[in-house]
Structure 1
């Protein structure tokens, strides 16, 4: 009997040491967007809140929820000791981990960053911009340079014995030489200009062989620009993540999307919430929106008539955890509860109620 009593007391001691008793409830900050955090009056719900409430119930923890303006503001409150914990889709990023007075629990949710693009084709002026991109401009410059070089060589070789077709005057002679080079390059072969000297014919023979090799690379940029123009796509970050560089993107201030945009050297337009970012995209003020992919999917499902689409690529993997101070007595019991919920697929079940 004594042995049984001692075991019960030992178990109770372990439970109490796992989550220390407090004279007042934990101050738990809440921040995020649907489906992770949703506010209905004074009540909070969503994936993050359901996970936290399950953890709190398992550990017999009393708490009060305190809404936060932005993730950055919530993390600052944890760092300064005004909050015991920050709950929501808080991405564990290198910049946040580098803060000495902020720590994170084990990730309770794994996601990806998402990119929203316009659904409709850009206006005509935006489409014409593809012809002023470096690929198109460099191709035109290379083509003009090659034609000018061949034109000068042909003129120098033909101007004395073939001055009728290639006049001795510099401008008319070089112009006729460039015309001959262009006709030869395109294999049109009008026959209105032709070399008669051995040197001229030799230059022409070399140019014919070179044009067969060079024509594809010279015209590649122009062909790409015409393809983009006719398809209605814009030149920039539409096709891949790399294309977002130096493009205008809308991000929600204080989120990991802002950090990703800064790292990708994008032109950041910071707004207060996802709906504002999408409005900027629909009005053509930005080229893309960067936000967490699950939240984007949930928003698009709730608003199917929006003129935007989810890009097939993402910028980074996202891991969500709860923020707290380093060496907090909450850390170990929270980690244990998160891992138990992951292994039992309880978190997956909670997420399924909102996402599917």
Structure 2
């Protein structure tokens, strides 16, 4: 009888030990598509990454969703979950409260904005810019001065060739200056006196420099003005006077404000995208991957996605400080990065649309 009791006691001890030794990992999650798909199932980039990690570490786990990153971080800090997964940006303020994993993905901010076609006036407006007109007027002034000097030294002596009137003589001198500068050389006018040849010879040398400078300056002005007239937002510099939906992230909001734009904080890429569709904002700045995912859902003829390396972003998982799980997950993340598994998961989700 005592043997039977001893056997039952040992069996219960073994079962009890096995049950207490197996820990269920409490996994919190939050974030935007395609990292976290908000539907009936736990799907998205971070779930695929976590399942790879959990499989290799032979972990059992349960999921719990949080409405926002801030609430998820607070729950992790209070040890309500063992790990928080999602597209959570690593920064100093958060790292003071919780512990971050090895970054599992590096990305950057991008700009999504509607394509705005230039009107006919937008295309011809550079011709009427002040810089362009000043350049043309400056060239005409120099030509007039050369024409006047030539009339002084030679035109008055040959009135039968250059005209007996003051304005005709200067006009002929300007014409000679033009054909000399452009190297056309029609031969209808040519200097005869040493003084006239000196004026035209000096003008030949000076015009080589001036012509090159004027043409280059005018071409640059037309080029820059045309770029400035392009109303499609493709960079931070285009945000002056624009309303821009941005994540609630101080660095990004400050960058928009520094170019005289108006940042409007949104809690998700979906919220910002809806504001863009409803024309409540002129552009949307958000993490590249969520924007690429949304961009695939829309006609590319209507919107343009610009990656300008606005602000590097490093995503990591979050643990309570001094978590025993962190180092194990770090090693698995490094292994997945070396095998390019994470990159393949990300590209697979983006290409699904």
User: How far 1:321 moved relative to its partner?
Assistant: 1.6
User: How far 1:307 moved relative to its partner?
Assistant: 0.5
Q: Is the 8 A contact 1:56 1:62 kept in 2?
A: no
What does residue 302 of structure 2 align with? 307
Q: Is the 8 A contact 2:104 2:316 kept in 1?
A: yes
What does residue 342 of structure 2 align with? 347
Residue 148 (1) aligns with residue 141 (2): yes
What pairs with 1:94-109 in structure 2 (closer than 5 Å)?
Answer: 96-97=91-92, 101=96, 104-109=100-105
Partner SS, residue 321 of structure 1: strand
- How many residue pairs get aligned? The number is 324
Residue 336 (1) aligns with residue 331 (2): yes
Q: Is the 8 A contact 1:300 1:306 kept in 2?
A: no
In structure 2, relative to structure 1, the CA distance for the partners of 1:54 and 1:145 (3 Å cut) is: same
In structure 2, relative to structure 1, the CA distance for the partners of 1:197 and 1:220 (3 Å cut) is: same
Partner SS, residue 67 of structure 1: coil
Residue 205 (1) aligns with residue 201 (2): yes
What does residue 8 of structure 1 align with? none
* TM-score normalised by the chain length of structure 1: 0.63
Higher Rg: 2
Partner SS, residue 48 of structure 2: helix
Higher helix proportion (structure 1 or 2): 2
Distance in 1 of aligned mates of 2:276 and 2:341: 37
In structure 2, relative to structure 1, the CA distance for the partners of 1:294 and 1:106 (3 Å cut) is: same
Q: Is the 8 A contact 1:108 1:321 kept in 2?
A: yes
Distance in 1 of aligned mates of 2:227 and 2:277: 15
Partner SS, residue 114 of structure 1: strand
Distance in 2 of aligned mates of 1:297 and 1:252: 15
In structure 2, relative to structure 1, the CA distance for the partners of 1:341 and 1:325 (3 Å cut) is: same
Q: Is the 8 A contact 1:114 1:314 kept in 2?
A: yes
Distance in 1 of aligned mates of 2:327 and 2:61: 14
User: How far 1:47 moved relative to its partner?
Assistant: 0.6
Partner SS, residue 110 of structure 1: strand
What pairs with 1:173-188 in structure 2 (closer than 5 Å)?
Answer: 181-182=177-178, 184-187=180-183
What does residue 252 of structure 2 align with? 258
Distance in 2 of aligned mates of 1:226 and 1:173: 34
What does residue 292 of structure 1 align with? 287
Distance in 2 of aligned mates of 1:131 and 1:173: 31
What does residue 9 of structure 1 align with? none
Distance in 2 of aligned mates of 1:284 and 1:189: 61
Partner SS, residue 102 of structure 2: coil
Q: Is the 8 A contact 1:271 1:277 kept in 2?
A: no
* TM-score normalised by the chain length of structure 2: 0.63
User: How far 1:184 moved relative to its partner?
Assistant: 4.4
Deviation per residue, 1:204-229 (Å, 9 max, x gap): 32333333344344223544566789
Q: Is the 8 A contact 1:89 1:321 kept in 2?
A: yes
Q: 2:261 aligns with which of 251, 256, 267?
A: 267
Unmatched tracts of structure 1, length 5 or more: 1-11
Distance in 2 of aligned mates of 1:209 and 1:104: 68
Partner SS, residue 66 of structure 2: strand
Q: Is the 8 A contact 1:35 1:295 kept in 2?
A: yes
User: How far 1:296 moved relative to its partner?
Assistant: 2.7
Q: Is the 8 A contact 1:86 1:324 kept in 2?
A: yes
Distance in 2 of aligned mates of 1:208 and 1:62: 85
Q: Is the 8 A contact 1:237 1:243 kept in 2?
A: no
In structure 2, relative to structure 1, the CA distance for the partners of 1:147 and 1:67 (3 Å cut) is: same
Q: Is the 8 A contact 1:113 1:257 kept in 2?
A: no
Deviation per residue, 1:252-302 (Å, 9 max, x gap): 33259936954984735436354645864896974x644333323322322
In structure 2, relative to structure 1, the CA distance for the partners of 1:312 and 1:347 (3 Å cut) is: closer
Distance in 2 of aligned mates of 1:254 and 1:294: 17
RMSD: 5.3
Q: Is the 8 A contact 1:249 1:261 kept in 2?
A: no
Distance in 2 of aligned mates of 1:278 and 1:153: 63
What does residue 4 of structure 1 align with? none
Partner SS, residue 315 of structure 2: strand
